[in-house]
Each structure stands twice: as C-alpha cells, then as structure tokens.
Chain A
C-alpha cells in the first residue's frame, strides 16, 4: 500500500512542477527585466518552452507513462510475490521445526527406553550370573561332599576287603593246624553225606 502511494506521488511530481511554472511566467511578464526579472523567463522564451513542455508532456503521457507504470506495477507484483513466498517459507520452517522437535523428543524417549532396556537386560544378565555362580558354588560344595563320601566308602570297602582277607587267612591257619586226622575224617564223612550228585545238572 505504502509503495503504491509513493508511486502516485512520483507520478504527480512533474505535474506539480508544471502548475507552479505558470504563475511564475505571469509574474515575470509584469515586472520586466530588472534584478528579479533575471529569474523569470521572458515571454518570448516562455511560450516556446511552454509549447515544448506541453509537447513533451503529451509525448510522455502518451508513451512514457504506461511503460513506466507497467514496470513499476510489475515490480510491485514481484515484491508482493516474494513477500508471500517468504511468508509460506516461514510457515513451512515453523512446521518443520515443530516436527524436528517432536522427532527429537521421540528419539530422546527411544534412547531412554533403549537405555532402560539395556539396563534391564544387564540386570537380568547380572541376576543370571549371580544365580549361576551361586548354583555353581552349591554344586561344587555338593560335589566335594560327594567326593568325601566316596572316599569314605572306598576306604571302608578297602578296610573290609583286607579284614576279610585276614579273617580267612587266620581261619585257614586255625583249621589247617587244629584239626586232627580223626576230625578231618568226621568232616569228610559229613560232607560226603551232604554232597550232591554227579547226575544233576
């Protein structure tokens, strides 16, 4: 709007100048050519100048003004256009900014989530490790107990075997030396009576 006014003002400058020139011509014609007269043109000069001026004005009004105004209008349109564009760009950038902000927030949220997840997982893993360590410790203890038990059993079995060996050795010695011939014969007699048959099988 403001521009439009300016352009109108510009157009009216030469008109105003023309209007102002006319009383000045009249004034100069009255006073003659003394001091101040030097300022005013003489009538003889004035008339052709006026005519030239009018001709120039007419020519300009006919050909110059439209071109000039067209140019100015075009420029005004361009400026208006770019203004509008700037406006939409601004809006767009605001929208994008909002979007970016939202994304950033989401990413932040995601990141916290991932961290929380990782933390939770770490927690799980930790619990797992602790639990497995605990069970391992327990099994080690159980195994140690078992090993001790086994050692004990083996030792007892060993002892038993050697005890048995010794007992039998002693028994052999005792029976071998203590029995008289008569006693041997009694044993034989008894065994014969009790022994099985050749036919069985």
Chain B
C-alpha cells in the first residue's frame, strides 16, 4: 500500500502535470477533466476491469487494447497517460491524479468546473443564469459540464469541489416520503 506518502504525492503530481501539458497542447484541458472523472468512476465501479488491469499475467499490449476499446471516445493523451499508469502498477493513484489534475487545470484556466445535471438539456438562458450566479459566488469564471438524467424527475443538481447542491424533485420527494412515513 502507500508506504511513502511523499513519493505517491510526487508521482501523482507528475502524472497530472504531464497530462495537463499534453491537454493544453491540444487545447483540451476542460474536456479531459470530465473524462478523467468518468474514468475514475468506471474503474471504481467495475471489479472486473480493475482486476484485469492489475493482472500481471495479461500482457501490457492486451491491457492497452482493453482500455482503448472501452474508453474509445476519450482524448488520446488521457488514454496514453492511463496506459502508463496501468503499466507501472499505479492504478491506485488514479483518484489522486484526478484531484491534482483538476486543481492544476482550474488554476491554469482560471476557472471553476461545475457539474450540472438536469432532466432536460440546458438552454442558453439557463446556462447564462447558472454561470452568472456561481461566477459571482466563486469569484472565478465557471465552466459547466452538463449531464442529463431523467431520474431526477425535475429540478437541478449542481456539484463542484466535492460539494453538491441537490435541488432535484426526486430528492425532495424522497424527503417528503421520509417525513410522511415517520410522522404520526
């Protein structure tokens, strides 16, 4: 496990910096941040994938092929970095690389990344409204990553920096159900 905290920290920073450099060249810094998030979730969510990637009996080329196939839509610089990480057995560093990358990227772009989830796609006015409100709040330019999830039923969920504002109808209904079944 993590025998040397400083060492891991340094390693993660190296990966993040390299990735950021490559993404800047391709002018892709913001998108890579989102893809990195999805990559972390995917690796976390699937034991099979994790197992395959740390399995020493599977040749590096095969692992590369698996990664390329699953994450075909991702930016090539991200996939290359990820392949190196898999090769060197640094898979467990992924969440730390993501955090470091996001921090570096936000600094580089002078912006804050905000995830927005809604039931229907945002239109310009709504986008404008969100950006205005949260730019003022965070004191930085806000860049939105938009997701659509019908499971919300209605309303909006915003998240940034590990914090979340949940103004969705589904969670409100859930709390209403809680209250209804508990109060007599």
Contacts and interface: CB of A to CB of B under 8 A. Distances in A.
Nearest to B130: A192
Nearest to A168: B177
Interface string B141-184: 00000000010011110101101010101100110110011001
Contacts of A175: 153-154, 169, 173
B173 A198 contact: no
Interface in B88-138: 118-120, 122-123, 125-126, 129-130, 133-134, 137-138
Interface in A142-201: 156-157, 160-161, 163-165, 167-168, 171-172, 175-176, 179, 181, 184-185, 187-189, 191-199, 201
Contact of B165 (A172, A185, A196): A196
Contacts of A199: 137-138
A178 to B, nearest CB: 10
A193 B129 CA distance: 8
30 contacts: A160-B181, A160-B184, A167-B180, A168-B174, A171-B173, A175-B154, A175-B169, A176-B150, A176-B153, A176-B154, A181-B120, A184-B120, A185-B120, A187-B154, A187-B155, A187-B169, A188-B122, A188-B126, A188-B154, A189-B125, A191-B156, A191-B167, A192-B126, A192-B130, A194-B167, A195-B156, A195-B158, A195-B165, A195-B167, A198-B160
A201 B162 CA distance: 12
Contacts of B153: 172, 175-176
Given A168-B177, A175-B154, A189-B125, 10 more contacts: A157-B181, A160-B181, A164-B181, A168-B176, A181-B120, A185-B123, A185-B126, A188-B126, A192-B129, A199-B137
Contact of B156 (A164, A181, A192, A201): A192
Interface of B: 118-120, 122-123, 125-126, 129-130, 133-134, 137-138, 150, 153-156, 158, 160-161, 163, 165, 167, 169-170, 173-174, 176-177, 180-181, 184
A181 to B, nearest CB: 5
A198 B137 contact: yes
B162 to A, nearest CB: 10
B5 to A, nearest CB: 27
A15 B120 CA distance: 174
Contacts of A167: 177, 180
